[in-house]
Amino acid sequence: MTAESKSLEAERQFLDEVCKTYTIDTSLQTKTMRELIFRTFTPFIRSGRGLELGCSDGYMTEMLASRLETLDVVDGSQTFLAKASQRKLENVKFTYSLFEEFNTEQRYDYVFASYILEHVRDPVAVMQMAHSVLTPNGLIMIVVPNARALSRQLALHMGLMEDLKDLTENDRNHGHRRVYDRVFLNRDIEAAGFENISQGSIMLKILADFQLDELFEKGMLREQHIDGLYRMGLEYPDLGGSLFSICRKR
């Protein structure tokens, strides 16, 4: 086995371990963020063919599939693929592959990369792969956690972090390798040959995920609050829980 083959096999094992740490099925905060991401992407989707990088439990996959003619999904976790395929989406094709190994002659109108770039070994290389499979006028839609989220800034001032770009215990538990701010994200986007046509943040994040889940469970966060926090994320893009970028080929 070559060094590269060993590296890719280690990456598969890494993903299999990481997927065990996610509570997507039970986290109302995670579900809400997926819905808000879809809300953000929707104005830019005009049917066509899409490629989703990473599917988790398929909740986002199902929403995207409702807007597209066909959707191809690539994931390096067989566990996530099994969960997502249980939704039995007729216009969706699932492929087990690392993004680094994915190869196709198909060209896509959209590539969706939600909460992917913070995990992979080489985010620029993954975006370059997306660049190669997009049509000339195709779009890549990206979401990553925000290093400068209000919740992280609060943790910094509470003395729980030394730097906003430090990986927290939760980050490491979920297999994050980096934390993006807007400058860092735009730098990687440009290095991969893309340019932003829209950018901002999704949902002003006031507390950690587990704390927001408690507020959801107690009925203290309702639809009106979520809508307000979503709009505030657009108004204060430095403080949102996640950064988004809609990009075209430069």
Please compute the mean of the pLDDT values over residues 122-146 and round it to a whole number.
98
pLDDT tens digits, 70-102: 999 999 989 999 999 999 999 999 999 999 899
CB 71 within 8 A of CB 65: yes
Q: Where are the domains of the chain?
A: 3-249
Residue with tokens 């972090």: 161
Please compute the mean of the pLDDT values over residues 105-117 and round it to a whole number.
97
Which token pair is 45? 């989707």
Determine the 3-state secondary structure of 48 from DSSP. coil
Residue (of 140, 150, 112, 157) closest to 242 by Cα position: 150
Phi-psi region at 177: left, alpha or beta (left = phi > 0; alpha = psi -120 to 50): alpha
Q: Give the chain's mean pLDDT.
A: 93
pTM summary value: 0.93
Q: How far apart are CA 20 and CA 4, in angstroms?
A: 25
pLDDT value at residue 53: 98
CB 98 within 8 A of CB 155: no
**Residues above pLDDT 90, as percent of the chain:** 84
Distance set, CA 128 to CA 12, 74, 94, 230 (Å): 21, 15, 21, 30
Which token pair is 198? 């829209």
Please compute the mean of the pLDDT values over residues 205-229 and round it to a whole number.
95
Please compute the mean of the pLDDT values over residues 36-40 and round it to a whole number.
98
* pLDDT for 174 beyond 90: no
Please compute the mean of the pLDDT values over residues 181-209 and round it to a whole number.
97
Q: How far apart are CA 6 and CA 9, in angstroms?
A: 5
Q: How far apart are CA 132 and CA 224, in angstroms?
A: 41
CATH topology of domain 3-249: Rossmann fold (3.40.50)
* pLDDT for 23 beyond 70: no
Q: How far apart are CA 250 and CA 246, in angstroms?
A: 12
What type of residue sits at position 192? A
pLDDT value at residue 128: 98
For β-strands 70-75 and 49-53, DSSP reports them as parallel
Q: How confident is the model at residue 181 (pLDDT cuts 50, 70, 90)?
A: very high
Which token pair is 112? 């969706």
pLDDT value at residue 24: 60
